[in-house]
Structures are given as structure tokens and as C-alpha cells.
Chains A and B, each alone.
Chain A
């Protein structure tokens, strides 16, 4: 059973701080890693993806991947109340297509004004 582990939270951070969201995965053959944001009562939307070890930055968001340690993280700089949502980590193996993507349960982030 391939697993993707996330702390469900809530993770509370003050406005303007850095929010750090973490995800570990069990399948060493995992190749692609995604972060989705899901507002309460809404659908997931892709905000970041990463394939290679290291950091990938997009605006206030940075995804970090460490395949040796089997974790991927999402940093949100200058957190805003509008960032309050649940963040889903998703992991895909090398082969098999998107139908093989495994989702974590998500971490609820609360940004306190």
C-alpha cells in the first residue's frame, strides 16, 4: 500500500509569517509530486508540482523535494489570510499515469490576521 502522510493540522501561523507544510511518502519509486490547495467546500486546485530534488519557487510558494529522505514540503512566505485552506500533497509513480497518483489527507492551514 503506497502511502502519503500529512499532519492534518490545523497549522496556525500569524499573517506575514512563513508556513511550512510537510509530506512524506512510502514509495521510493515516486517521480512526480504535487501540491493542491482546497478551500473549504471547494475543489482542489494545483498550485505547485516538482519532479527534481531541490527547491522550486513560484511567487510566494516554494516546493522542496528530498527523494533520499522521501519527503516533500511546501513553504508559503508572507502568509495571508487568503492562504487559509487545506493543502493536499499528491505523489505519482514513474509509470502508470495520473490514475496512480496517491493523495494525502491534507493539512489545514489557518493564517491568523
Chain B
């Protein structure tokens, strides 16, 4: 199985940059995904890293280092609508996801 650790909460002001770290302990690790979930809503996919390095998608970027069992999600130019929970999730070769407990991002004016 997998276990993933990420901070419980991060607070930042609009326009700032936030980095959410995720460390994992794995068996059968295949890649790392990130999902966003607004209160009461369903999670939505943000990014996936199978290889080491940085993946950029608009204001969001995700990084993976397999040798360090570590990844992060970078949120740039924060907007109020980015206030949500962000989950890292380890993907295995069977297509299953193991989720971390989530990081609540609070964006203040």
C-alpha cells in the first residue's frame, strides 16, 4: 500500500505563490496525481507526474522526485477561487489511487 503526507492547511493572500508538499511511502508506485476539491464538491483532476521533473499547466505546476519520494503542487498568482482542498494521490500500476489527507488552501484578500 501507500501512505502520503501533506500539510493540513496553508493560508496566503491573493496574488501570492503557494507550494504544497507531498511525501509518500510506496509499494508499486507508478506516479503522483493532484486533485482539487471545493467544499461540498467532487474532486477534479489537476495534474499527473510519472517522471521526475516539473509539469506546468497554466497557473498550476506539479513536481516529482522519485529518488526522494517527494512531490509538490505549485499554485501561482493565487485567486480567491483557488480556496479549496488539494489532494496528492499515488497512482499504482492497477490504476488505483491512494489519497493523502488533503491540504486546505485559504486565500485571503
Q: Do A and B come from one complex?
A: no
Which residues of A come within 8 Å of B, CB atoms? none
